[in-house]
């Protein structure tokens, strides 16, 4: 009998499944992750211990850092509305915008263009009402 005939969920592809395509129970994945973070290799790497769900946030942060559009992140993470994505990850987008602003200003200073555009570039943090201007 071919392995394709043993596949139980023919119209589904799960990220975590057994050899027959059946989804793994969420607690099985969590238990595996806990055992993994207790291994010598993990400890030798001196990585901070995080929950399995934190990998999702790490993934989103890395995508934002690489400039992936929020709409793409929304779709990848299965959020029904982009506002959900922005509520969770909006602060990271703001931090990324600050870094990009600083890099731009450093570049413009090298070109000696800063005095002309200094007034045009600023960034306001909505939570603290702090304004970043260079």
Statement: residue 132 has pLDDT above 90: no
* Domain ranges within the chain, ordered by starting residue: 1-52
Give the model confidence (pLDDT) of 11-32 as tens digits: 877 778 888 888 888 888 889 9
51: its two tokens = 């929950």
Collapsing DSSP to helix, strand or coil, 31 comes out as helix
Using the structure block, give the residue that is written with the tokens 């999702």. 56
Statement: residue 1 has pLDDT above 50: no
Percent of the chain with pLDDT over 90: 16
CA angle, 134 then 131 then 122, to 5°: 45
pLDDT tier, 34 (very low <50, low <70, confident <90, very high otherwise)? very high
Give the model confidence (pLDDT) of 73-96 as tens digits: 999 999 999 888 888 887 777 777
The distance of Cα 132 from the centroid of its chain, to the nearest Å, equals 24
- Structure pTM? 0.55
Q: Among residues 24, 23, 21, which one has the least CA distance to residue 5?
A: 21
| Burial class, 37, CB count within 10 angstroms (exposed 0-12 / middle 13-18 / buried 19+) | middle
Whole-number average pLDDT of the chain: 78
């Amino acid at each position: 009998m071919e392995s394709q005939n043993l596949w139980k969920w023919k119209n589904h592809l799960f990220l975590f499944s057994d050899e027959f395509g059946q989804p793994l129970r969420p607690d099985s994945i969590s238990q595996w992750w806990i055992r993994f973070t207790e291994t010598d290799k993990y400890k030798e790497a001196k990585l901070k211990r995080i929950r399995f769900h934190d990998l999702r946030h790490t993934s989103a942060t890395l995508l934002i850092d690489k400039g992936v559009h929020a709409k793409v992140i929304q779709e990848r993470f299965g959020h029904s509305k982009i506002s959900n994505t922005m509520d969770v990850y909006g602060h990271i987008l703001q931090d990324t915008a600050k870094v990009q602003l600083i890099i731009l200003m450093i570049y413009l200073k090298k070109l000696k263009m800063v005095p002309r555009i200094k007034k045009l570039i600023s960034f306001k943090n909505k939570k603290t009402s702090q304004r970043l201007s260079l």
